């Protein structure tokens, strides 16, 4: 997983139909940690693919999707209060 980076994805989609499509895309690539928040391990090609797939769905005048790259040092400092744990890197990634 040395060429994969850890991302936090969060979205605010105004349409139920578009929101469901984005959720399905995110679920295929990462782990849902809250309603519209996902943790995802991506290499550069998968990041480009994710952006391309989401751009086809999102209405840029109404919706918002944010992808935050979390470095290894910052990832170690993630604090969780309550239920849940940080998503671990998958051993095998199929794109």
pLDDT higher than 60, residue 95: no
List residues bridging with 67 in a β-sheet: 9
Measured distance CA(8)–CA(54) in Å, rounded: 15
pTM above 0.75, yes or no: yes
Residue whose token pair is 């994969």 = 4
Q: What is the pLDDT of residues 12-54, one digit of tens each?
A: 999 999 999 999 999 999 999 999 999 999 999 999 999 999 9
- Classify domain 5-76 by CATH architecture: 2-Layer Sandwich (3.30)
Tell me how far CA of residue 84 lies from CA of 13, 31, 32, 39, in angstroms. 24, 11, 10, 12
Average pLDDT over residues 60-72: 93
Query: DSSP letter at 77?
Result: T
List residues bridging with 12 in a β-sheet: 64
């Amino acid at each position: 997983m040395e060429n994969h980076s850890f991302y936090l994805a969060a979205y605010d989609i105004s349409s139920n139909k578009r929101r469901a499509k984005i959720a399905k895309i995110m679920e295929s690539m990462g782990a849902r940690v809250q309603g519209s928040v996902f943790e995802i391990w991506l290499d550069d090609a998968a990041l480009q693919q994710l952006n391309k797939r989401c751009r086809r769905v999102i209405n840029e005048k109404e919706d918002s999707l944010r992808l935050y790259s979390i470095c290894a040092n910052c990832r170690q400092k993630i604090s969780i209060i309550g239920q849940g744990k940080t998503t671990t890197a998958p051993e095998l990634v199929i794109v």
